[in-house]
């Protein structure tokens, strides 16, 4: 029989696995079970896991596309405005808009803004920075999640979440150790 600690609020229940196969397998079954608000944690990316959890987020790519376009237009616009509108000057007998010579800068700006979009977009979508997170309350998670252990946490606000049932379900997945995650 287990003894319950009094907890303020519960973030969810977390199970630890010690290899990738177990985690992926667990993830797949959790999804099959109907859980949606759950998250798997691993020290490195596992592609099978994404499939198992049906994760598909295209927004980063979209952001990059938009960023690229912005950069391109800014670059081209700036150059044309500067050399033809702001202060038109006869440079070496070239026309004011000698577009072939504007390509390099346009290109570089495209890349630059796109790269910003990729990185900051990714962090933003991931909700980072987030130095504090409930999962770190789990001692072993904090020790191993970034190194050599694999975790799966079902969140309390999942409609299907039931503390006891979920715990037992996780144990049934062959988790080494299941623990509550405090808010």
Q: Comparing C-alpha atoms, which of 8, 13, 22 is closest to residue 135? A: 13
Residues 44-83 that bind another protein (CB under 8 A): 44-50, 53, 55-57, 59-61, 64, 78-79, 82-83
Residues 118-137 that bind another protein (CB under 8 A): 118-119, 121-123, 125-126, 128-133, 135-137
Instruction: Please pick, from the candidates 41, 154, 173, 181, the single residue that binds another protein as defined by CB under 8 A.
Output: 41
Residue pointed to by tokens 């503390």: 163
List beta partners, residue 182. 10
Q: Of 19 and 172, which CB lies nearer to another protein in the complex structure?
A: 19
Task: Pull the structure tokens for residue 99.
Answer: 């577009």
Q: Of 130 and 164, which CB lies nearer to another protein in the complex structure?
A: 130
The radius of gyration of the chain from alpha carbons, rounded to an integer in Å, stands at 25
CB of 112 to another protein, least distance (A): 4
179 contacts another protein (rule: CB under 8 A) = no
CB of 98 to another protein, least distance (A): 6
Residues 4-33 that bind another protein (CB under 8 A): 19-21, 24, 27
Beta pairing, strands 10-17 & 150-155:
antiparallel
36 contacts another protein (rule: CB under 8 A) = no
| CA–CA distances in Å: residue 123 to residues 15, 40, 47, 78, 129 | 26, 18, 19, 29, 7
Q: Of 7 and 164, which CB lies nearer to another protein in the complex structure?
A: 7
Q: Name 136's Cβ contacts closer than 8 Å, sequence gap at least 6.
A: 142
176 contacts another protein (rule: CB under 8 A) = no
Residue pointed to by tokens 């702001």: 86
Residues 132-161 that bind another protein (CB under 8 A): 132-133, 135-139, 141-148
CB of 114 to another protein, least distance (A): 5
Q: Of 1 and 123, which CB lies nearer to another protein in the complex structure?
A: 123
Which helix (H) or strand (E) element contains residue 61?
Answer: helix 59-80
Q: Is the dihedral of CA 137, 31, 126, 159 positive or negative?
A: negative
Q: Of 69 and 115, which CB lies nearer to another protein in the complex structure?
A: 115
């Amino acid at each position: 029989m287990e003894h319950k600690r009094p907890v303020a609020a519960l973030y969810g229940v977390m199970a630890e696995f010690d290899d990738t196969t177990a985690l992926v397998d667990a993830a797949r079954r959790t999804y099959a079970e109907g859980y949606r608000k759950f998250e798997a944690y691993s020290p490195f990316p596992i592609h099978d896991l994404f499939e198992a959890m049906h994760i598909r987020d295209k927004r980063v790519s979209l952001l990059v596309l938009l960023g690229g376009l912005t950069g391109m237009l800014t670059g081209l616009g700036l150059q044309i405005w500067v050399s033809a509108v702001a202060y038109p000057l006869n440079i070496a007998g070239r026309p004011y808009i000698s577009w072939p010579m504007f390509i390099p800068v346009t290109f570089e700006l495209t890349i630059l803004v796109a790269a910003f979009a990729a990185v900051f977009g990714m962090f933003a979508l991931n909700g980072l920075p987030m130095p504090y997170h409930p999962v770190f309350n789990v001692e072993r998670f904090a020790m191993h999640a970034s190194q050599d252990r694999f975790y799966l946490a079902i969140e309390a606000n999942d409609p299907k979440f039931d503390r006891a049932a979920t715990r037992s379900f996780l144990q049934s997945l062959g988790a080494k150790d299941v623990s509550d995650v405090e808010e």
